[in-house]
Amino acid sequence: MLLDNFHRVARIGLLAAGLAAGSAMAQTAICYNCPTEWADWGTQLRAIKAKTGVTVPADNKNSGQALAQLVAEKASPVADMTYLGVTFAIQAQKDGVVEPYKPAAWNDIPAGLKDPAGNWFTIHSGTLGFMVNVDALKGKPVPKSWADLLKPEYKGLIGYLDPASAFVGYVGAVAVNEARGGNMDNFAPAIDYFKALQKNEPIVPKQTSYARVLSGEIAILLDYDFNAYRAKYKDKANVAFVIPSEGSVVVPYVMSLVAKAPHAGDAKKVLDFVLSDEGQAIWAKAYLRPVRANAMPKEIEAQFLPASEYARAKTIDYGRMAQAQRAFSDRYLKDVR
């Protein structure tokens, strides 16, 4: 009898432990391409944990790597959600690796910044330009144009993320292409530009290179306004942000629920939070333009370049940008790298 009771108690204890473990596991949601250093995801991930109880481990993939992994794992998904540049999200929808979810603030997202069914939706946007470590220039002038970067005086000082893999790299290619007379059917200006830029021996990493700019290893990086402002105002670095005189582009970053996500319920809590008042305020304080228009505090906006500078940055047809991406990547790999 005592032995039976012992076994019964032991079974109950094991069951309780199993339930507790299952509960703990259910409070973790995997996000592909949520790197601590990029867009201040570090602060956002901590807030998500504090407010929703869901732990989201940092993940250092770029958009291209995240999409490739999602496709490879399509039959048995590991990730619950993903953060992508908009063109990769459009491709992810075509590849069937994401599924519709309309978060709590769905109606606050402008129509052009979300898939109508909810396969992806914008959480914030950035403007591409030059993030410049002024000290690392060692007295050379801060470049003001795409043409400036081709000058021999900037040899060894320039970096850009791999346009065939990282979304920000492709955005840089689109920006210079548009600024130098190209369009989505003609990437010759961008290819010619990157060929010419090779004379200045650029550094071309695949992942975010924020720390390499702060250290001075890369003096001029094709990157977004939000990273430059973060460096200037939060890390107190002598960093300038330049919107090239010939023009640039504005692009959205989006999130999606992964198809057949193992922890879809917890992922949905996270997707709701990043669009909540608090989540959007975190993006704004990291100098991203939150997708909900009323979420940008005036004191933060005052730290941006003036509106007259931003007038040179334009929105584009992101669907066409997505369609052109693979052909551009192939051509870049063949003709430039």
Mean confidence (pLDDT) of the chain: 91
User: What pLDDT sits at residue 26?
Assistant: 52
Whether residue 220 is found in the same domain as residue 77: no
In a domain, 9, yes or no: no
User: What pLDDT sits at residue 99?
Assistant: 98
User: What pLDDT sits at residue 218?
Assistant: 97
In a domain, 107, yes or no: yes
Provide mean pLDDT across the span 59-87.
96
33: left (phi over 0), alpha (psi -120 to 50) or beta: left
Range of the domain at 279: 32-125+251-301
User: What pLDDT sits at residue 325?
Assistant: 93
Could you give the CA distance from residue 288 to residue 277 in angstroms, rounded to a whole number? 14
Whether residue 196 is found in the same domain as residue 171: yes
Whether residue 108 is found in the same domain as residue 172: no
Provide mean pLDDT across the span 49-70.
96
In a domain, 71, yes or no: yes
pTM of the model: 0.79
Query: Residue 82 is encoded by which pair of tokens?
Result: 């993903």
Higher pLDDT, 25 or 113: 113
pLDDT digits (tens, 9 = 90+) for 173-230: 999 999 999 999 999 999 999 999 999 999 998 877 899 999 999 999 999 999 999 9
Provide mean pLDDT across the span 13-25.
43
In a domain, 7, yes or no: no
Whether residue 329 is found in the same domain as residue 259: no
Provide mean pLDDT across the span 83-111.
95
Query: Residue 160 is encoded by which pair of tokens?
Result: 């850009």
In a domain, 223, yes or no: yes
User: What pLDDT sits at residue 9?
Assistant: 42
Whether residue 155 is found in the same domain as residue 244: yes
Whether residue 208 is found in the same domain as residue 226: yes
Q: Is the pLDDT of residue 134 over 50?
A: yes
User: What pLDDT sits at residue 237?
Assistant: 97
Whether residue 60 is found in the same domain as residue 134: no
Whether residue 158 is found in the same domain as residue 208: yes
Whether residue 153 is found in the same domain as residue 214: yes
User: What pLDDT sits at residue 24?
Assistant: 44
Q: What is the 3-state secondary structure (H, E, C) of the chain?
A: CHHHHHHHHHHHHHHHHHHHHHHHHHCECCEECECCCHHHHHHHHHHHHHHHCCECCCECCCHHHHHHHHHHCCCCCCCCEEEEEHHHHHHHHHCCCEECCCCCCHHHCCHHHECCCCCCEEEEEEEEEEEEECHHHCCCCCCCCCHHHHCHHHCCCEECCCCCCCHHHHHHHHHHHHHCCCECCECHHHHHHHHHHHHHCCECCCCCCHHHHHCCCCCEEEEEHHHHHHHHHHCCCCEEEECCCCCEEEEEEEEEEECCCCCHHHHHHHHHHHCCHHHHHHHHHCCCEECCHHHCCHHHHCCCCCHHHHCCEECCCHHHHHHHHHHHHHHHHHHCC
Query: Residue 39 is encoded by which pair of tokens?
Result: 């867009």
In a domain, 65, yes or no: yes
Provide mean pLDDT across the span 241-255.
96
Whether residue 211 is found in the same domain as residue 156: yes
In a domain, 147, yes or no: yes
Q: Is the pLDDT of residue 2 over 70?
A: no
Higher pLDDT, 3 or 260: 260
pLDDT digits (tens, 9 = 90+) for 138-162: 999 999 999 999 999 999 999 999 9
Number of domains in the chain: 2
Q: Which CATH number do you get for residue 92? A: 3.40.190.10
Whether residue 330 is found in the same domain as residue 202: yes
pLDDT band at 19 (very low <50, low <70, confident <90, very high): very low
Whether residue 111 is found in the same domain as residue 260: yes
